[in-house]
């Protein structure tokens, strides 16, 4: 539709609308008018109007649902004969909207139900396509689409013959049982049960009163699977309680919550007050009501579900219900005891994750969430939190903004990973905050405070995500935050998780801006956290100071590098350093590496491009240094991290490039961070956000590379061998991390033991950091192993298929097939 507007007419309109035109060129106005009226004459054909109305259905809160629904349905059936394009278009659009804008599904269903009273054929057309789509999505393992189509089907229950949707749900359940009995770690079965439970409420809302027994039977069956704690859940728990804390209650799995919530709905006659029922007409409209009641019923074509179902493109994990607004004095989001919590959340999550290609629309749907649920489900938009307690009991205290923001946070804090890159969820929140700052910003503020209060027992990976989102968000809103309320925490020891958060946040803010700017946003007490080196754009070159050992050599090498001297000219200086180092009882390789790398960094200090060019030119010598000894390898990293100590972001980027050039191996970085640097700082390094970032990025780099290879359709024997070697070194990497981190977590680390000044508080902090790190990388290791297992199975399957095809004596076809898979 946007293309339409960009046509020449669109351009000209823009021109005419400019101020200049309007005020100065009066005579042209009638030209403008003529065109305006011509446009009015070309009333768009019905299929265009219906498309437009369907697309924006339910978006206008001022328009009663039944009116809107009836007007679209009648426009459709009235023009049934005159516009043949319309029928197919209508069906296709309804199906498309159901999977693209799922908040609108009940409203679309209502239009179909009303249309059914005049043109019953349309439902048959729709059902035929719907069934075909469901089957196709099941085949691909696109479970979300399956769920969304079933939701549409569920809303149409009242016009279906026989048991309607129930046979499909029962069939799905029998697959779930098979899968769950086969393996306790199965996730597809769990997903199927979740789909069944999320479909059920819509059936009950669409055809009230009739299906209670059927529903009860089904829920009796799902109970065993839904209530059984999932083997993988411990891995993805967002909170990581400290040992001392009496084990704070673990989060609930979504599926378990759903089962219990629906059970209480069933006991309550399936009231489901939050679900919209746009197919209900006011009693006054007797004609429409009776037409709906007596409309044609349709047989649902059978849906075949293959015996073995597939997991689909996205790895499935059990889901945990996460909320940043739990335990408040007034309930600003539905409590986890009501079905509304899961039903609204589910619809919002689908919207958020499907609509990643237009965050502006995501944000609008988030802000207008109250349009898509029953009236009075929510309090008025933008009601301040403090006012919620004045709301009289039967009325809702749920703040639509809180519910919406909570849904986004549940994705941002989803382990192991949400569907999209984290920055999408940042962007969605930014956009929502831009659209309705007065409503959204206070909700975000309360979320931030909640997370900050709980930062000490948040999983460390999530702690880091919080930091990243927080600083990024502030960068979009002028870096304003009420830092004064955390001022007491500035005086906490650096090892305290909240202090670590503050330091990390300031560093990240500075990276997106610059030190002086951020300093201006911080209250007095925070000022000294912005250290002098952070304010320098380019770090000092330590060899400019004659008191630094090897100052002359350092300057000489820098000068040689600057004039792009040949390596032979540098070698003598390096040899001189070696000799001097030996005289002074220093490790010659470490010493020369430090001087050389620091000089390279210095001549590249102007920008990342400069340093990359400098590294490129000295690649050979750097590679040799990295290969010379463990100590020299570590010294490269030490030199980078020291030189750019005031700008850890730059240091991390440089190390990343050194990894790309294979000047450093991932194990060198891990070893440097977790053993050497952590040792030198007596564990303090574990509390620094940028050290975690360095390690995390390094691990992700390794695992991403392995995943890419593992996902290839077939590997040549050489590839296979290389892949196996890579997998081996990944395992070694994880086990080295395990060893180092276990030592920190248990207090067995030499540096912790030999520290004569026994400081129990300090030691407890460090052990805790060790535990938190350990949990993150154990999870990563487990996830990668699970991935490799699955990818291996997939590959074997493909190889087997290919071999079978070759057995048929048609080699050429094999190639084609493999490519298709790729």
Partner 1 sequence: MRGQRPTVDRLDRPSAYFNNRVSTRNEGHSTPGSRTDDGSRYPQNKRRRPGQDRRDDDDTKMQHDEPEDDPLRDATTLYVGNLSFYTTEEQVYELFSKCGEIKRLIMGLDRFNKTPCGFCFVEYYTHQDALDCMKYIGGTKLDERIIRTDLDPGFEEGRQYGRGKSGGQVRDEYREDYDEGRGGLGRAIQQAERLRDAERRDKENDHGSDHGRLR
Residue 517 Cβ vs partner 1, minimum distance, rounded to whole Å: 8
Stretch that binds partner 1, among 200-208, 230-238, 335-343, 645-653 (CB under 8 A): 645-653
Stretch that binds partner 1, among 30-38, 202-210, 335-343, 512-520 (CB under 8 A): 512-520
Q: Is 717 exposed, middle or buried (0-12, 13-18, 19+ CB in 10 A)?
A: exposed
**585 binds partner 1, rule: CB under 8 A:** no
- Kindly tell me which of 427 and 444 has the beta carbon lying closer to partner 1: 427
Near partner 1 by CB under 8 A: residue from 139, 273, 649, 679: 649
Near partner 1 by CB under 8 A: residue from 70, 86, 99, 686: 99
- Kindly tell me which of 98 and 589 has the beta carbon lying closer to partner 1: 98
Near partner 1 by CB under 8 A: residue from 17, 60, 96, 711: 96
CA distance 189 to 221: 13
- Kindly tell me which of 333 and 518 has the beta carbon lying closer to partner 1: 518
CA distance 39 to 32: 11
Structure tokens at 618: 């000295």
Residue 228 Cβ vs partner 1, minimum distance, rounded to whole Å: 35
Stretch that binds partner 1, among 240-248, 260-268, 405-413, 602-610 (CB under 8 A): 602-610
Structure tokens at 637: 């990293």
Beta bridge partners of 239: 458
Q: Which long-range contacts (CB under 8 A, 24 or more apart) does 496-501 make?
A: 496/456, 496/765, 497/455, 497/456, 497/463, 497/687, 498/452, 498/455, 498/456, 500/687, 500/688, 500/689, 501/452, 501/455, 501/463, 501/466, 501/467, 501/689
**422 binds partner 1, rule: CB under 8 A:** yes
Binding mask 194-213 for partner 1 (x = CB under 8 A): --------------------
Q: In this structure, what DSSP letter does residue 479 have? A: T
- Kindly tell me which of 420 and 619 has the beta carbon lying closer to partner 1: 420
Residue 697 Cβ vs partner 1, minimum distance, rounded to whole Å: 9
**43 binds partner 1, rule: CB under 8 A:** no
Q: How many CB atoms lie within 10 A of CB 248?
A: 12
CA distance 77 to 81: 8
- Kindly tell me which of 705 and 762 has the beta carbon lying closer to partner 1: 705
- Interface with partner 1: number of residues (CB under 8 A): 49
CA distance 433 to 229: 37
Angle between helices 588-603 and 608-617 (to 10 degrees): 130
Residue 629 Cβ vs partner 1, minimum distance, rounded to whole Å: 29
**653 binds partner 1, rule: CB under 8 A:** yes
Residues 436 and 382 sit within 8 Å (Cβ to Cβ): yes
Beta bridge partners of 298: 160
Near partner 1 by CB under 8 A: residue from 50, 70, 73, 97: 97
Residue 778 Cβ vs partner 1, minimum distance, rounded to whole Å: 25
CA neighbor of 225 nearest in space, from 267, 183, 261, 171: 183
Residue 421 Cβ vs partner 1, minimum distance, rounded to whole Å: 6
**CA neighbours within 13 Å on the CB side: how many for 90?**
31
CA distance 200 to 220: 13
- Kindly tell me which of 380 and 608 has the beta carbon lying closer to partner 1: 608
The contacts of residue 419 (CB under 8 Å, 6+ apart) are 314, 353, 356, 411
- Total residue count of the chain as it appears in this document: 822
CA distance 535 to 647: 9
Binding mask 12-41 for partner 1 (x = CB under 8 A): ---x--------------------------
How far from 307 is each of 139, 176, 304, 608, 647, CA to CA, in Å?
11, 11, 9, 55, 57
Near partner 1 by CB under 8 A: residue from 48, 75, 93, 786: 93
With b for 16 or more beta-carbon neighbours within 10 A and e for fewer, the 18-36 pattern comes to: eeeeeeeeeeeeeebeeee
Residue 521 Cβ vs partner 1, minimum distance, rounded to whole Å: 11
- Kindly tell me which of 258 and 363 has the beta carbon lying closer to partner 1: 363
Q: How many CB atoms lie within 10 A of CB 512?
A: 15
Residue 389 Cβ vs partner 1, minimum distance, rounded to whole Å: 36
SS (H, E, C) 268-316: CCCCCCCCCCCCCCCCCCHHHHHHHHCCCCECCCCCCCCCCCCCCCCCC
**513 binds partner 1, rule: CB under 8 A:** yes
**475 binds partner 1, rule: CB under 8 A:** yes
Site for partner 1 in 481-510 (CB under 8 A): 508
**656 binds partner 1, rule: CB under 8 A:** yes
Stretch that binds partner 1, among 99-107, 292-300, 563-571, 814-822 (CB under 8 A): 99-107
In order, the DSSP letters of 775-816 are HHHHHHHHHHHHHHHHHHHHHHHHHHHHHHHHHTT-HHHHHH
Binding mask 45-74 for partner 1 (x = CB under 8 A): ----------x-------------------
Binding mask 529-558 for partner 1 (x = CB under 8 A): ------------------------------
Near partner 1 by CB under 8 A: residue from 16, 71, 476, 681: 476
CA distance 474 to 444: 11
Secondary structure of residue 384 in the 3-state scheme: coil
Residue 6 Cβ vs partner 1, minimum distance, rounded to whole Å: 5
- Kindly tell me which of 153 and 577 has the beta carbon lying closer to partner 1: 153
CA distance 470 to 437: 16
Site for partner 1 in 427-456 (CB under 8 A): 427, 430
User: 416 preceded by cis ω (within 30°)?
Assistant: yes
Near partner 1 by CB under 8 A: residue from 424, 481, 501, 541: 424
Q: How many CB atoms lie within 10 A of CB 412?
A: 22
- Kindly tell me which of 644 and 765 has the beta carbon lying closer to partner 1: 644
Residue 660 Cβ vs partner 1, minimum distance, rounded to whole Å: 8
**CA neighbours within 13 Å on the CB side: how many for 259?**
20
**11 binds partner 1, rule: CB under 8 A:** yes
Stretch that binds partner 1, among 37-45, 469-477, 632-640, 813-821 (CB under 8 A): 469-477
Residue 653 Cβ vs partner 1, minimum distance, rounded to whole Å: 6
CA distance 780 to 772: 13
Structure tokens at 58: 């339910």
Residue 437 Cβ vs partner 1, minimum distance, rounded to whole Å: 14
Site for partner 1 in 352-381 (CB under 8 A): 355-361
Stretch that binds partner 1, among 28-36, 185-193, 253-261, 605-613 (CB under 8 A): 605-613
**245 binds partner 1, rule: CB under 8 A:** no
**147 binds partner 1, rule: CB under 8 A:** no
Stretch that binds partner 1, among 5-13, 122-130, 520-528, 775-783 (CB under 8 A): 5-13
**814 binds partner 1, rule: CB under 8 A:** no
CA distance 778 to 416: 12
Q: How many CB atoms lie within 10 A of CB 620?
A: 10
- Kindly tell me which of 96 and 181 has the beta carbon lying closer to partner 1: 96
Stretch that binds partner 1, among 123-131, 252-260, 471-479, 810-818 (CB under 8 A): 471-479
**335 binds partner 1, rule: CB under 8 A:** no
CA neighbor of 429 nearest in space, from 444, 439, 417: 444
**Would you tell me which residues interact with partner 1 (CB under 8 A)?**
1-2, 6-8, 11, 15, 55, 92-93, 96-97, 99-101, 355-361, 420-424, 426-427, 430, 468, 472, 475-476, 478, 508, 511-514, 607-609, 647, 649-650, 653, 656, 701
């Amino acid at each position: 539709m946007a293309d339409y507007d960009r046509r020449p007419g669109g351009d000209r309109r823009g021109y005419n609308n400019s101020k200049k035109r309007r005020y100065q060129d009066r005579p042209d106005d009638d030209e403008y008018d003529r065109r305006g009226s011509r446009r009015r004459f070309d009333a768009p054909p019905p299929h265009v109007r219906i498309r437009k109305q369907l697309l924006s259905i339910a978006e206008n809160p001022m328009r009663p649902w039944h009116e809107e629904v009836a007007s679209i349905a009648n426009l459709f059936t009235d023009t049934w004969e005159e516009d043949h394009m319309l029928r197919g278009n209508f069906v296709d659009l309804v199906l498309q909207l159901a999977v693209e804008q799922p908040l609108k599904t009940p409203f679309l269903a209502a239009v179909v139900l009303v249309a059914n009273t005049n043109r019953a054929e349309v439902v048959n057309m729709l059902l035929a396509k719907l069934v075909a789509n469901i089957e196709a999505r099941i085949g691909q393992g696109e479970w979300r689409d399956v769920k969304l189509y079933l939701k549409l089907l569920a809303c149409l229950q009242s016009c279906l013959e026989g048991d309607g949707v129930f046979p499909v749900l029962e069939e799905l359940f029998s697959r779930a049982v098979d899968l769950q009995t086969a393996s306790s770690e199965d996730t597809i079965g769990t997903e199927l049960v979740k789909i069944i439970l999320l479909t059920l409420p819509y059936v009950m809302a669409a055809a009230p009163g009739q299906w209670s027994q059927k529903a009860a039977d089904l829920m009796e069956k799902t109970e065993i699977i839904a209530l059984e704690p999932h083997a993988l859940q411990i891995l993805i728990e967002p909170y990581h309680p400290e040992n001392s804390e009496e084990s704070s209650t673990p989060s609930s799995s979504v599926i378990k919550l759903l089962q219990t919530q629906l059970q209480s709905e069933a006991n309550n006659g399936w009231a489901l007050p939050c679900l919209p029922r746009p197919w209900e007409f006011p009693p006054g409209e007797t004609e429409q009501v009776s037409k709906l009641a007596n409309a044609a019923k349709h047989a649902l074509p059978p849906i075949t579900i293959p015996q073995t179902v597939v997991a689909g493109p996205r790895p499935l994990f059990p889901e945990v219900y996460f909320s940043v607004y739990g335990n408040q004095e007034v309930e600003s989001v539905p409590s986890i005891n009501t079905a509304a919590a899961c039903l609204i959340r589910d619809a919002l999550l689908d919207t958020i994750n499907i609509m990643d290609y237009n965050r502006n629309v995501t944000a609008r749907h988030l802000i207008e969430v109250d349009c898509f649920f029953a009236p009075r489900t929510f309090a008025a938009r933008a009601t301040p939190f403090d006012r919620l307690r004045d709301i009289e009991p039967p009325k809702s205290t749920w703040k639509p903004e809180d519910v919406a923001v909570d849904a986004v946070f549940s994705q941002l804090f989803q382990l192991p990973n949400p569907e999209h890159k984290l920055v999408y969820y940042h962007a969605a929140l930014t956009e929502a905050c831009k659209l309705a700052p007065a409503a959204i910003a206070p909700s975000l503020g309360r979320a931030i405070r909640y997370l900050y209060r709980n930062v000490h027992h948040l999983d460390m990976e999530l702690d880091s995500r919080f930091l990243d989102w927080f600083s990024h968000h502030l960068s979009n809103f002028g870096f304003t935050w009420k830092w004064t309320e955390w001022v007491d925490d500035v005086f906490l020891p650096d090892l305290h998780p909240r202090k670590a958060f503050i330091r990390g946040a300031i560093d990240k803010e500075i990276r997106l801006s610059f030190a002086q700017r951020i300093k201006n946003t911080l209250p007095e007490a925070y000022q000294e956290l912005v250290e002098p080196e952070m304010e320098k754009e380019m770090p000092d070159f330590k060899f400019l100071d004659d008191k630094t050992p090897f100052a002359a050599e350092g300057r000489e090498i820098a000068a040689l590098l600057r004039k792009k001297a040949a390596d032979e000219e540098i070698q003598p200086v390096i040899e001189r350093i070696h000799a001097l180092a030996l005289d002074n009882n220093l490790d010659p390789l470490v010493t020369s590496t430090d001087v050389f790398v620091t000089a390279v960094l210095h001549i590249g200090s102007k920008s990342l491009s400069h340093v990359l060019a400098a590294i490129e030119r000295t690649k050979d010598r750097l590679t040799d240094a990295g290969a010379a000894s463990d100590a020299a390898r570590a010294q490269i990293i030490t030199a980078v991290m020291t030189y750019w100590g005031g700008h850890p972001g730059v240091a991390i980027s440089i190390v990343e490039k050194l990894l790309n050039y294979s000047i450093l191996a991932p194990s060198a970085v891990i070893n440097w961070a977790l053993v050497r640097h952590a040792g030198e700082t007596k564990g303090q390094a574990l509390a620094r956000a940028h050290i975690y970032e360095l390690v995390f990025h390094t691990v992700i780099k390794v695992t991403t590379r392995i995943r890419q290879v593992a996902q290839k359709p077939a590997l040549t024997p050489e590839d296979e061998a290389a892949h196996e070697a890579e997998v081996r070194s990944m395992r070694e990497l994880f086990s080295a991390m395990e060893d180092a981190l276990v030592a920190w977590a248990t207090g067995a680390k030499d540096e912790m033991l030999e520290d004569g000044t026994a400081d129990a508080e300090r030691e407890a902090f460090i052990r805790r950091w060790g535990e938190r790190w350990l949990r993150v990388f154990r999870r990563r290791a487990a996830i990668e192993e699970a991935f490799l297992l699955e990818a291996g199975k997939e590959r074997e399957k493909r190889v087997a298929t290919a071999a079978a095809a070759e057995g048929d004596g048609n080699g050429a076809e094999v190639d084609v097939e493999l490519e298709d898979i790729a």
